[in-house]
Amino acid sequence: MFVDLIVVGGGAAGFFAAITCAESSGKSVLILEKTSHLLQKVKISGGGRCNVTHDCLDPRELSRSYPRGEKSLIGPFHRFGAADTVEWFAGRGVALKTEADGRMFPETDSSQTIVDALLGAAEAAGVSIRTSEGVTSVVKNEDNFDLVTDVGNSYTAANVLISTGGTRLAAGAQLATSLGHELKPPTPSLFTFKIKDPRIDGLAGLAVSPAEVSIQQSKLSSSGPVLITHWGLSGPGILRISAWGARELAARDYRFDISVNWLPDLDPAAVVAEKRLGEAKRQLSSRSPFAALPKRLWLRLLAAAEVSETATWSQLSKTQATRLVSQLTASTFTVSGKSMNKDEFVTCGGVALNEIDFRTMESKLVHGLYFAGEVIDVDGITGGFNFQNAWTNGFHAGLDIAAR
């Protein structure tokens, strides 16, 4: 069976490439998905709402949200960025909304809306889809590719797009290496920190925004909301630093110390000095003097600074004041491991960036071979950025194949 384009992997990037190619050219397109589920990550992402993209319209600024792939994506985002994604879905009856943090979701708050739009567009464009059929080998012949699947079928294709997702599962990685590509090792990105510490134990659900987090003995730092969880610390401030430091933190076996500044926009030392004079008789434990700092966390930091619950501001010694300011601006925590961010598994690693032409997503090594999505060594700091990369990759690959 001959096909103009075979897409290996039925995820976001693969679907977008298949639809773009079929709509632009009418060429025959076949998606082969190893599992029985199509667009599975789309369905579970964002707690079942699907963080489709991010409200960031400047291509260069958008590219800065990719710890790996920043420079490579500037050009592609100029040609197909977040605004184009919004327009694409709007043209298929799906309106997106923007939340306060810039994340964009379907107005229905249901990922099924996105799944249905992609399935509908693929069907309308004449894309063929086969599930529970994984590709076990791809061989490049003079002009075409020969593919064999795990159910015994053989195909011949003029072009092949590999979009099998993160190389954690190795399927796409094996196909890429068999065709001569180098792989950067798969490493978890977007993870939370496991911390056992009396200052945060029992405070799950409390958040401080903004906060600054830095890795000790490292140049890594980030800012953003920090959330206390049952197992340690999470939130955008933590996830961001985990993404940028993915390989460095893996090399440390996820054991390191962090410093947290709970009040980066304030001068706690000045506030403490002011309170000692202006509220001399008030007990420190009566309330948090900082609006951004929940009282329960304030009480824990007082205890860590060895300040009695009954102490008044006038009774606070200079030594205690110094310790308190240190807890507020440089709380040190020992990280003993990582936890994945809900079900949104993201890995860095994959096909090396210098082996792909990002104008077309075609391999620089094998003519007619394309890559898109997480199988490439590109990852964003949150799910919406990873989806935008998928849409952008898929668009460029599909358009180039259509033009052949």
Q: Which domains does the chain have, with CATH numbers?
A: 2-188+343-402 (3.50.50.60), 192-340 (no CATH)
Whether the CB-CB separation of 338 and 329 falls below 8 Å is answered with no
Q: Is the pLDDT of residue 167 over 70?
A: no
- Reference 393, options 354, 360, 352; nearest CA is 360
Q: What's the pLDDT score for residue 170? A: 63
Q: What is the mean pLDDT of residues 250-257?
A: 97
Confidence label for 42 from pLDDT (cuts 50, 70 and 90): very high
pTM, 2 dp: 0.83
Q: What's the pLDDT score for residue 343? A: 46
Q: What is the mean pLDDT of residues 64-91?
A: 97
Kindly give, in sequence order, each residue whose CB lies less than 8 Å from that of residue 185, ignoring residues fewer than 6 positions away: 349
User: Mean pLDDT score of the chain, rounded to an integer?
Assistant: 95
Q: What's the pLDDT score for residue 168? A: 57
Q: What's the pLDDT score for residue 165? A: 87
Q: What is the mean pLDDT of residues 57-79?
A: 96
Estimate the share of the chain in helix, then strand, then coil, as percent rounded to the nearest 5: 40, 25, 35
Whether the CB-CB separation of 348 and 68 falls below 8 Å is answered with yes
Q: Give residue-wise pLDDT tens across range 144-159.
A: 999 999 999 999 999 9
Q: What's the pLDDT score for residue 130? A: 98
Count of other CB atoms within 10 angstroms of residue 289: 17
Confidence label for 160 from pLDDT (cuts 50, 70 and 90): very high
Whether the CB-CB separation of 154 and 148 falls below 8 Å is answered with yes
Q: Give residue-wise pLDDT tens across range 192-203.
A: 999 999 999 999
- Reference 361, options 369, 370, 353; nearest CA is 370
Q: Give residue-wise pLDDT tens across range 170-211.
A: 677 889 999 999 999 888 888 999 999 999 999 999 999 999
Whether the CB-CB separation of 126 and 25 falls below 8 Å is answered with no
Alpha helices, DSSP H, located in 91-232: 111-125, 171-178
Q: Give the separation between CA 207 and CA 215, rounded to whole angstroms.
A: 20
Q: Is the pLDDT of residue 341 over 70?
A: no
Q: What's the pLDDT score for residue 348? A: 86
Q: What is the mean pLDDT of residues 212-231?
A: 96
Q: What is the mean pLDDT of residues 59-71?
A: 96
3-state SS string for 265-294:
CCCHHHHHHHHHHHCCCCEHHHCCCCCCCC
Confidence label for 46 from pLDDT (cuts 50, 70 and 90): confident
Q: What is the dihedral of CA 383, 385, 386, 387, to 10 degrees?
A: 90
Q: Give the separation between CA 140 and CA 362, rounded to whole angstroms.
A: 14
